[in-house]
Amino acid sequence: MFKLDDIRLKPPIKDEIKELSEKAASSMGINPANIAGLYILKRSLDARKKNDIKYVYSIAFELNGVKKGLELATRQLKRNTALKLYKPTEYALPNVMLRALNDAQRPLIVGCGPAGLFCAYILSRAGLNPIIIERGESVVKRDRSVNEFWETGRLNPESNVAFGEGGAGTFSDGKLYTGNNDRDGIYHEIMKVFAEFGADPSILYDAHPHIGTDILKDVIVNMRYSLERMGAEFCFETRFEKPVIDNKGRAVACELFHNGKIYEQKCGCIVLCTGHSARDSFKMLHECGFSMESKSFAVGLRIQHSQEMINTSQYGKGYEAYRLPAAAYKLTMKAASGRGVFSFCMCPGGYVVNASSEEKRMVVNGMSYHGRSGINANSAIVVGVGADEFGQGLFDGMEFQKKIEEAAYNAAGGLIPVQSFRDYSARTGDISHKGIDPAIKGAYKYASLNGILPLSLENDIIEGIGHFGKYIAGFDCPDALLAGVESRTSSPVKILRNDSGQSNIGAVFPCGEGAGYAGGITSAAADGIRTAEKVIKYMQRI
């Protein structure tokens, strides 16, 4: 096969594959009929020149006829620097030679987010029949609980936007971005799995792929059904109480809580995929002797603008004729304080959502559906914080999160507090509102956001929004709408692990975002796969 880079098409595009074949043939000086089996490797949108917006592609294809193809290839590889020989990088499941396991030897996975699901996927393909424990509900029941919370304010602390099948990403934009080089094919494997179970195939090649929360719910259920057919067992509404550790310092079982009772489940090993909001689990693990350390994260506020304004700024006037997707952005700067300020989890055509998981603490996040057709764009504008801001203690970061979440809850009497950028930056306590209509899942109230974050972080956010207005026209407009507080960008602790993937407690494998080794759906899924590989090696030795 051959790879050709930098193929450009001007939108709107009627027949993508046909137009790509014609462009590729033209660049090579051959007939389009010579090109066969063409597929897209990567697609991105170049909107730097508003009067010349183009989609940019890398494509792979074959040349018709073995002899003719080789002759063409020999000539083209010499004269066309954009043309290269191409061999796909496919993920290879580790060679597995395992004896049959009894129920007491099966791996047990704690958490059913991306890390846990993809770890279970690899272990199931290896024939290890994992048991997956999830404190929250399955997707259908969880969806009802979350929508009831948004409508009534009645929170289920065990099943919410943070806890339940699919993890926190289920009620998000379903973004699958990664900046990592895919040398081993793991990231492409993740996209293939998502597409196999119902995601739009464009995630296989889009530079900024996303699924959308509406589609992601079905994908997760389809994936679970497939895993169950392979021998995996899912236990929902089942909380991980603590590991059972033998006199050799090795976990041999778990204490689990289900239906009001604690029971013991023996296992061959434990994979900890608890997620970044499992604060009770962090404290329990520390009490059990697990080596952990505090880590930095970021906190801030959600900002909303009209999607039309973002589209016009990113694409230019008259963008509608190009039939382009809702425009996104990614912004970063260094504040005068020295701290980094950046946009996080940007949701085109999306909603701000109440993502609280604890009583009397307010957390917001962003969500969008596959079509990204909402009237507003939103993202978190966050500031990186570390020990200098919250202290040196292991759980000082977690306590800092709790403090600002409680302040956000109190700011609007338990509703999502929202305020215009004008009033927030003036710090007068005013809560006037004009212009942007909120797009929010959950009850909200106009209230002052000042004082939720420490003053120095407020200064950074105000400075950052003003700076970003230089790059996106209107970003710092007075009517931009803020909501708070965004505090769960990543885990506040890391559960340490060695080269074998295990913690200092043997047979326990910390994994994913909650353990401090990932940041988002794709990196968490990748860590789940790599951890599964280490589990397989471990199981071969016992």
Least confident of 68-77, 416-425, 428-437: 68-77
Distance (Å, whole) CA 379 – CA 387: 25
Tokens of 117: 């699901």
Residue that the structure tokens 């209230």 belong to: 447
Q: For residue 179, report the phi and psi dihedrals to the nearest 5 degrees.
A: -100, 10
Please tell me the predicted confidence (pLDDT) of residue 184. 86
Question: Residue range 122-134: average pLDDT?
Answer: 95
pLDDT level of residue 177 (50, 70, 90 thresholds): confident
Q: With 80 as the cut, is the pLDDT of residue 179 above it?
A: no
Question: Residue range 276-297: average pLDDT?
Answer: 97
Residue that the structure tokens 């043939």 belong to: 25
pLDDT level of residue 219 (50, 70, 90 thresholds): very high
Tokens of 516: 């401090």
Please tell me the predicted confidence (pLDDT) of residue 478. 95
Tokens of 390: 């919250």
Please tell me the predicted confidence (pLDDT) of residue 334. 98
The one-character DSSP state at 10 is P
Please tell me the predicted confidence (pLDDT) of residue 337. 97
Strand partners, 265: 254
Least confident of 172-176, 242-246, 433-437: 433-437
Residues 512 and 275: beta-carbon distance below 8 Å: yes
Query: 389-407: per-residue pLDDT in tens?
Result: 999 999 999 999 999 999 9
Third-level CATH fold of 103-293+492-541: FAD/NAD(P)-binding domain (3.50.50)
Distance (Å, whole) CA 364 – CA 441: 10
As a whole number, the mean pLDDT across the chain is 93
Q: With 60 as the cut, is the pLDDT of residue 59 above it?
A: yes
> Domain locations in the chain?
2-85, 103-293+492-541, 296-486
Query: 60-101: per-residue pLDDT in tens?
Result: 998 886 556 666 666 766 666 678 888 888 898 877 766 667
Q: State how far the alpha carbon of 23 is from the alpha carbons of 12, 43, 54, 409, 411, in Å.
A: 15, 15, 13, 56, 57
CATH number of 2-85: 3.30.70.2700
Distance (Å, whole) CA 350 – CA 373: 7
Distance (Å, whole) CA 23 – CA 255: 61
Please tell me the predicted confidence (pLDDT) of residue 292. 98
Question: From the CA atom positions of the chain, what is the Rg in Å?
Answer: 25
Query: 517-535: per-residue pLDDT in tens?
Result: 999 999 999 999 999 999 9
Q: Do domains 2-85 and 103-293+492-541 have the same CATH topology?
A: no
Q: What 3 state SS string does 90-119 have?
A: CCCCCCCCCCCCCHHHCEEEECCCHHHHHH
Q: What percentage of residues in the chain have a pLDDT greater than 70?
A: 96
